């Protein structure tokens, strides 16, 4: 993601603000209500109707004003974004949503990771399915090796054999699988399920996972490539709000979204305790 950091510094813009000063590429369609600058570039007045917004200190800008964003008030900020950005192109299909409207599985999704569509009632272990790539790399390409805090540190062989013994014992007790590589390394799917809940029989260890009723809802929010912008923006405002009102409000939906595709809940430590013994 590109942020115009230098420009933002110079222009007294709020942190993580939209880029300015760039000429729209072909990917962007600018409706007539948005006025561009002399060089056909994005200027403050392209998006803001407030006079001299660039000369007003950020904290004094009236963001509640109807003129704050060109075109009036939008129900959701994304509605504003999609006036210029192509909604379809900015979303990637979430292949983990594996059921269609009829409740049948979307077979075309399976072959992103499997060589053939597995027979769900026959395949009973990893050995029964042909994966396109080794466990270690199957998620990469679509996801980074370090998609979140502490994930790289985890993709190693446990330093202590006791951990391996724990994994074997605890995963049996919890009725889940914790796949490791041939070299006993932890990988994404040691913690994460690849499949939407119900694709694999939830009564079996491979199919037991955190049940997310609203995978699509959560993901809907996540699907925006600008999610981090919104979250950071909200975090700032929330901090201010909390300071003003002396409160500790947090975004709870964030957590719901993040507890998707896990073999056990992590928020209460269950997942961690399959491998770790934090008492030591
Ligand atoms: C007036 C039209 C317009 C609106 C409205 C608009 N954008 Fe943009 N946006 C652009 C242009 C032009 C670029 C520069 C990139 C280009 O031309 O392809 C850009 C670039 C971006 C980029 C950087 C993309 C990259 O290629 O690095 C992000 C992220 C972005 N916009 C997010 C948003 C979000 C979020 C909103 C809504 C809050 C929004 N935009 C609203 C016109 C707009
Ligand atoms: C492509 C559209 C776009 C352009 C161009 C643009 N802005 Fe913004 N700006 C936004 C959007 C969208 C928000 C509101 C984000 C939100 O509500 O979370 C915003 C928010 C702001 C805010 C309020 C931040 C806050 O939350 O208090 C200020 C101040 C601001 N912009 C200043 C500027 C200035 C100055 C320029 C020109 C240098 C500029 N903007 C150019 C889209 C744009
Ligand atoms: C994102 C990659 C990915 C996609 C997409 C995917 N799978 Fe899998 N699948 C895996 C991995 C990795 C394993 C082995 C580890 C596990 O079970 O999580 C596996 C294992 C399986 C197994 C064996 C489970 C067992 O009992 O051990 C079945 C059956 C299966 N997948 C069916 C499907 C079906 C049906 C689809 C399409 C709806 C599908 N998979 C889509 C990655 C994927
Ligand atoms: C073909 C591309 C593709 C592959 C392969 C893939 N994913 Fe994803 N995954 C996505 C997309 C798209 C999303 C939706 C969110 C986004 O755009 O980042 C997603 C979302 C997720 C999420 C977060 C769900 C949420 O709501 O925040 C997890 C966890 C995840 N994937 C794990 C995995 C794991 C583990 C593997 C490997 C077994 C894998 N993915 C392989 C494309 C892929
Ligand atoms: C599949 C097994 C497994 C699971 C599940 C797991 N860990 Fe780990 N964790 C490891 C391994 C392997 C290491 C590498 C160090 C080692 O071998 O002891 C590690 C290392 C760590 C470290 C030290 C990181 C560093 O900087 O060296 C922390 C902290 C940690 N884990 C916390 C957690 C938390 C919190 C959870 C639950 C969200 C969790 N782990 C879930 C296997 C696991
Ligand atoms: C040690 C367990 C563990 C490993 C290994 C692990 N994850 Fe995660 N992952 C989690 C947990 C727990 C969360 C929930 C996030 C939270 O609560 O902070 C998560 C969240 C995610 C998310 C959604 C969160 C977001 O911010 O978008 C994605 C995507 C994801 N993981 C992908 C991966 C991929 C890809 C790998 C391998 C390269 C991987 N994870 C390795 C435990 C793990």
For residues 88-95, average pLDDT: 72
The CA 7 to ligand 2 mean position distance, Å, reads 13
The Cβ-side half-sphere exposure at 194, using a 13 Å CA radius, reads 22
Report percent pLDDT > 90 for the chain: 42
Q: Which residue has the higher pLDDT, 91 or 139?
A: 139
Q: Which residues line ligand 1 (CB under 6 A)?
A: 1-2, 18-19, 22, 24-25, 27-28, 30, 34, 42, 46-47, 77, 80-81, 83-85, 226, 229
Q: Are 158 and 184 in contact (CB under 8 A)?
A: yes
Q: According to the model, what pLDDT value does residue 201 have?
A: 94
Distance, C-alpha 244 to centroid of its chain: 30
219 lines ligand 4 (CB under 6 A): yes
Would you state the structure tokens that stand for residue 210, as one six-digit string? 């955190």
The Cβ of residue 118 has, within 10 Å, a number of other Cβ atoms equal to: 20
pLDDT digits 0-9 by tens, 114-164: 999 999 888 889 999 999 999 999 998 788 788 777 888 999 999 999 999
Ligand 5: residues within 6 Å at CB? Answer: 153-154, 156, 158-159, 163, 167, 178, 186, 190-191, 266, 271-272, 274-276
**pLDDT at 5 (0 to 100):** 34
Residue of higher predicted confidence among 195 and 2: 195
Output the furthest CA–CA distance in the chain (Å, rounded).
68
Looking from the CA of residue 112, the nearest atom of ligand 4 is: 1
Within a 13 Å sphere around the CA of 47, how many CA atoms are in the beta-carbon half?
18
If you average pLDDT over every residue of the chain, what do you get?
A: 80
Mean pLDDT across 73-85: 73
Cα separation, 162 vs 166, in Å, equals: 6
For ligand 6, atom 12, which residue shows the shortest CA distance?
266
Say yes or no to pLDDT of 257 above 60: no
Up-side HSE of residue 35: CA atoms within 13 Å toward CB? 7
Q: Ligand 6: distance of its center to the CA of 192 in Å? A: 7
Closest of 195, 225, 278 to residue 87, by C-alpha: 225
Specify the residue for token string 């994994």. 167
Block residue for tokens 């949503």: 97
> 184 near 251, Cβ under 8 Å?
no
CB-based contact 139:181 (threshold 8 Å): no
State the residue for tokens 């909390």.
242
Centre of ligand 1 to C-alpha 202, Å, is 42
> Would you say 144 and 151 are in contact if contact means Cβ atoms under 8 Å apart?
no
């Amino acid at each position: 993601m590109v942020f115009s950091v230098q420009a933002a510094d110079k222009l007294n813009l709020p942190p993580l603000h939209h880029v300015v000063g760039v000429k729209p590429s072909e990917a962007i369609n600018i409706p007539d209500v948005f006025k561009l600058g002399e060089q056909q570039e994005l200027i403050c007045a392209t998006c803001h109707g407030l006079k001299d917004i660039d000369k007003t200190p950020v904290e004094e800008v009236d963001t509640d004003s109807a003129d704050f964003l060109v075109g009036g008030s939008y129900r959701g900020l994304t509605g504003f974004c999609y006036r210029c950005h192509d909604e379809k192109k900015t979303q990637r299909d979430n292949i983990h949503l594996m059921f269609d409207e009829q409740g049948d599985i979307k077979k075309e999704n399976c072959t992103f990771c499997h060589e053939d569509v597995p027979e769900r009632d026959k395949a009973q272990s990893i050995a029964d399915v042909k994966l396109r790539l080794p466990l270690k790399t199957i998620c990469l390409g679509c996801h980074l090796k370090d998609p979140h805090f502490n994930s790289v540190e985890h993709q190693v062989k446990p330093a202590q054999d006791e951990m391996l013994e724990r994994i074997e014992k605890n995963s049996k007790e919890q009725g889940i699988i914790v796949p490791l590589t041939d070299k006993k390394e932890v990988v994404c799917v040691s913690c994460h399920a690849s499949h939407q809940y119900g694709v694999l029989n939830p009564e079996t260890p491979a199919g037991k996972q955190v049940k997310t009723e609203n995978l699509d809802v959560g993901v809907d929010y996540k699907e925006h490539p600008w999610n981090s912008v919104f979250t950071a923006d909200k975090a700032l405002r929330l901090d201010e709000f909390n300071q003003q009102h002396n409160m500790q409000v947090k975004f709870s939906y964030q957590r719901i979204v993040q507890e998707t595709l896990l073999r056990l809940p992590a928020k209460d430590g269950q997942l961690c305790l399959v491998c770790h013994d934090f008492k030591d």
